[in-house]
């Protein structure tokens, strides 16, 4: 009797896992996985890009502190957690998509708290979830 119950449980778990895998595969096909189009706007010579981040200890530390503050806020979306933070001579530029105006304001406030008023340029864009 217990063997029958174990087999049924195993079949149920296997069925659930295969259904979840199939759903994940379908979802990944609906949404493109790369940000190529989004990143093309970052290639303008007049715009700061992540590779222009200075190796100055103060700039690296500032970027690290801002990233830490953003990632620790679990109310923010994955988009917000992954924005670009570029620090050059104490001036911070935030770039990338966020899910709402509230997230945009929260990120700017976190960066301003670390970098100081007047030292943050907000180039974030709001891209609501579909």
Contact by Cβ (8 Å): 93, 123: yes
Please, which residues bridge with residue 123 across strands? 95
> What are the sequence ranges of the domains in the chain?
1-31, 33-126
| Residue whose tokens read 């830490």 | 68
Q: In the structure, what pLDDT confidence band is assigned to residue 52 with cuts at 50, 70 and 90?
A: low
The answer on pLDDT for 20 being more than 60 is no
- Give the mean pLDDT of 63-76: 95
The answer on pLDDT for 70 being more than 80 is yes
pLDDT of residue 113: 97
% pLDDT > 90, the chain: 51
| Residue whose tokens read 């119950």 | 5
Contact by Cβ (8 Å): 86, 113: no
Quick: pLDDT tens for 74-125.
999 999 999 999 999 999 999 999 999 999 999 999 999 999 999 999 999 9
Is the pTM here over 0.75, yes or no?
no
pLDDT of residue 55: 74
**Has domain 33-126 been given CATH number 3.30.1340.30?**
yes
């Amino acid at each position: 009797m217990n063997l029958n119950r174990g087999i049924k449980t195993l079949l149920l778990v296997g069925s659930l896992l295969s259904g979840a895998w199939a759903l994940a595969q379908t979802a990944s096909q609906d949404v493109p996985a790369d940000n190529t189009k989004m990143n093309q706007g970052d290639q303008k010579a007049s715009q700061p890009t992540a590779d222009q981040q200075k190796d100055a200890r103060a700039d690296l530390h500032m970027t690290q502190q801002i990233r830490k503050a953003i990632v620790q806020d679990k109310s923010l979306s994955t988009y917000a957690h992954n924005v670009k933070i570029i620090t050059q001579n104490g001036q911070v530029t935030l770039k990338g998509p966020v899910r709402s105006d509230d997230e945009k304001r929260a990120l700017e406030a976190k960066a301003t708290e670390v970098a100081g008023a007047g030292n943050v340029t907000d180039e974030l864009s709001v891209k609501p979830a579909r």
